[in-house]
Amino acid sequence: MSTEITGVPVLGQRHLQILLLFLSITVNFIAKFNAGVSVVAMTNADTTNPDFPEYDWNEMEKSFILSSFFWGYFVTQFPGGYLCRRFGAKLTMFVSTLGSALFALLIPLTVDWGGWQIYCGIRVCQGLFQGLLFPCIHAHLAAWCPVQERNRLGALANTGIECGTVLAMFLSGIIAASSMGWPGISYVSCALGVAWCIVWMILSANTPSESKFISGPELAYIESSKNAERNKDDNSTKPARIPVPWKAIMVSWPFWALLVARSAHSWGFSTLQAEIPSYMNGVLGMDMKSNALFSALPYFAMWCMSYVYLILADVLLQRKILSLNVLRKTFNSLAFWVPAIGLIAVGFVNENQRTLAIVLMTANVGINAGSTIGSALNTIDLSPNHAGILMGIVNTSANVIPILTPLLVGLIVKNENDRTEWQIVFIISALVFGLGNLFFIVFGSTQLQPWDDENYLQSTPNKTNETNKDCPSKTVHFKTKY
């Protein structure tokens, strides 16, 4: 049976939803990472606007402020998946972003009497709210992306990570040096979050069928695409609240491959992000953190490379040069194994090769952008129905690691000027990168898992297989209106 759908807009509501997700990630990542610039401005007023209060916080206190966000962030990853299923992505993401924005506003209002401790408390609360975000984003992508556009649209939404990180560094520095001073960083962050929330509540919808603005052909295009993949009809206007097949998920090798890959990525990337600048400062005598260009350059490269990977993936898939499964594993291998080699190489750079060190750091972070298409979007491949839950579990594991890796570094590196100690750190991270990707290559999959079926818990595996055998195959052709 063949079904043709005409009049599907080239730019429609599905693209608007992706833009909203991109802006959501950007706004939240600005709030997530602007503390790095804010703390410098608050403890060294001479570097920005000296007309605002300066605080005498030691390095340990500043480290607590910068890490406190993650104390809350990993706690709400798993509840985020549940809340998204219970209340929908629209409301959950609204609460997540609004809560983070309003807590940002409290920083300049309370830090005078609460000191660094109140700043830490506020950052923990921001992390708690933002932890709800990514499970909702993956659930929203699963609801809105036609199967054949899922890779492209999902990757586009996730480029907000790099955009937000770069803007957090550049905008925060400009604001801190302006007449608004360091309090302006919090005010602008709050305003951006509130503005996004208003637009989100007006234009977003949990599912295409709930949208007031979507055209008939686009709705049919999205729903038919998903139905063709699942061989079923689902015209519900509410997010599916189907039982979670916990046992099936926990014994699924593709799920564990995804979990291992994302945890390994978190380990390696936290080393690239946090430890290499410390190494360059201690061994090479380069203060990367105080130089806005050096700090932002790797993430700018990552932002640019994310679009290179996106275009390349589109070409390879549309021309059927690679299957989606091979594409994910190839990109993930590039994103993991090349930086693994680069990490080891950085450990052998000497003081006379500072330019090479910057090039290696920038290249390592930039090439790592392929991990979004490589493995981050794999949650939607495995189970669109449970994408939010899967993302919650995976991100919980992945976000514990940035808390643990600095502790391991502290155990190994007793003298920050000792190159040999740092080489051990980089070799361990390279091994984690390498073995994590190898596990993903062997056990990872892009196949829709049997436990994604709404009736999986009510059906025996044999019955499910027999039902699938009897289902007639359906080919769906789409005509795009230009």
What residue type is 268 in one-letter code?
A: G
Average pLDDT, the chain: 82
| SS3 call for 74 | coil
pLDDT at 286: 62
| CB atoms closer than 10 angstroms to residue 417 | 13
Residue 459 vs residues 227, 251, 252: alpha-carbon distances, Å: 19, 18, 18
Domain boundary among 226, 258, 284: 226
Averaged pLDDT, 107-123: 92
What residue type is 274 in one-letter code?
A: A
Q: 187 and 296, same structural domain?
A: no
Angle CA 299–426–307, to nearest 5: 25
Task: Sort 381 into a burial class: Cβ within 10 Å, 0-12 / 13-18 / 19+.
Answer: buried
For residue 119, give the CATH number of its domain: 1.20.1250.20
Q: 81 and 221, same structural domain?
A: yes
Flag whether pLDDT at 276 surpasses 70.
Answer: no
Q: 285 and 360, same structural domain?
A: yes
Confidence (pTM):
0.80
Could you tell me if residue 274 is inside a domain?
A: yes
Domain boundary among 191, 226, 261: 226
Flag whether pLDDT at 432 surpasses 90.
Answer: yes
Q: 409 and 278, same structural domain?
A: yes
Q: 197 and 267, same structural domain?
A: no
Q: 292 and 217, same structural domain?
A: no
Q: What is the pLDDT of residues 277-319, one digit of tens each?
A: 667 666 666 654 555 566 778 888 888 998 999 899 989 988 9
Q: Find, among 168, 444, 154, the residue nearest to 309 by Cα.
A: 154
Q: 420 and 330, same structural domain?
A: yes
Q: Provide the domain count of the chain.
A: 2
Q: What is the pLDDT of residues 137-180, one digit of tens each?
A: 988 988 888 878 888 888 889 889 889 988 887 888 888 888 88
pLDDT at 338: 94
Could you tell me if residue 456 is inside a domain?
A: no
Q: 221 and 115, same structural domain?
A: yes
Q: 430 and 313, same structural domain?
A: yes
Q: Which domain holds residue 291?
A: 248-450
Could you tell me if residue 381 is inside a domain?
A: yes
Could you tell me if residue 1 is inside a domain?
A: no
Q: What is the pLDDT of residues 20-62, one digit of tens each?
A: 999 999 999 999 888 878 887 888 777 677 788 888 887 778 7
Q: What is the pLDDT of residues 223-235, one digit of tens each?
A: 887 665 555 444 4
Could you tell me if residue 216 is inside a domain?
A: yes
Angle CA 14–144–135, to nearest 5: 125
Q: 369 and 305, same structural domain?
A: yes
Could you tell me if residue 380 is inside a domain?
A: yes
Q: Comparing 147 with 15, which gets the higher pLDDT?
A: 15
Q: Find, among 149, 123, 140, the residue nearest to 20 by Cα.
A: 140
CA distance 133 to 58: 32
Flag whether pLDDT at 464 surpasses 50.
Answer: no
Could you tell me if residue 472 is inside a domain?
A: no
Q: 96 and 24, same structural domain?
A: yes
CA distance 383 to 447: 9
Q: 313 and 438, same structural domain?
A: yes
| CB atoms closer than 10 angstroms to residue 273 | 18
Could you tell me if residue 238 is inside a domain?
A: no
Q: What is the pLDDT of residues 321-377, one digit of tens each?
A: 999 999 999 999 999 999 999 989 988 887 777 788 888 888 988 999 899 889 988
